[in-house]
Amino acid sequence: LGSKSLSSIGRLHLTGNGDLYFNNGADLYWFPEADSIELFLKAVNDTDTAGKADAHSIMSIWSDNKKNLYIATGSVIKKIEKSKFIITVYKSAGNWKPVSGLVAPNGDFWVMEYNDKNEVRVNKISAADRKEIVKKNAFQLYMIPLLLIVGILLMLYFIFRKKK
């Protein structure tokens, strides 16, 4: 199907529009309709699995109806937008690790996890809860860096302003 030499192919995901995504170790590849395998993202696995180049560094790949990809890796789930912007959207607590998930048509987020005892659980995060989490995290994601920049600019202003 392609001319790449890949040694550690892992999970496969076929999107609704026919694009095939798969991992080779920690790298995420894309097989669009053009019949050529392309590297989509390099080393996209979690820092917990950094240096791990086997097929299990990414446990699962899935997508939602907005064409975002999700990967379960290490102790987190990462959302990958078509623009290749990556954000961690879920972090497992304790010794739990995400193994798979899905986004329901109504926006509910389902995560399947396992732990060291080989127990399995499924968590549901409703669409309303997801919006509340995003709202709470928006301060950390946007406001804290903005406040730091404003603080640095004010400090530089007072240090370098000319006194009359």
Q: What's the DSSP call for residue 149? A: H
Bridge partners, residue 109, by sequence: 103, 125
Q: Which residue has the tokens 């939602």?
A: 64
Average confidence (pLDDT) over 11-33: 88
User: How many whole angstroms separate alpha carbon 160 and alpha carbon 164?
Assistant: 13
pLDDT of residue 6 exceeding 80:
yes
What confidence tier does 104 reach under pLDDT thresholds 50, 70, 90? very high
Residue 2 is predicted with a pLDDT of: 62
How far apart CA 24 and CA 27 sit, in angstroms, is 5
3-state helix, strand, coil in the chain (%, to 5): 25, 35, 40
Beta bridge partner(s), residue 113: 98, 121
Q: What percent of the chain has pLDDT over 90?
A: 40
pLDDT of residue 150: 92
Q: How many CA atoms lie within 13 A of 88 on its CB side?
A: 14
74 class by beta-carbon count within 10 Å (0-12 exposed, 13-18 middle, 19+ buried): buried
Within 10 angstroms of residue 133's Cβ, the number of other Cβ atoms is: 14
The DSSP-derived string for 103-115 is E-TTS-EEEEEE-
Distance CA 81, CA 84 (A): 5
Indicate the pTM of the whole model.
0.76
Average pLDDT, integer, range 105-116: 93
Q: What is the pLDDT of residue 131?
A: 78
Tens digits of residue pLDDT in 39-59 = 899 988 876 655 555 667 899
What's the confidence (pLDDT) of residue 152?
A: 93
Quick check: 56 and 45 in contact, CB under 8 A?
no
Give the per-residue pLDDT at 72: 94
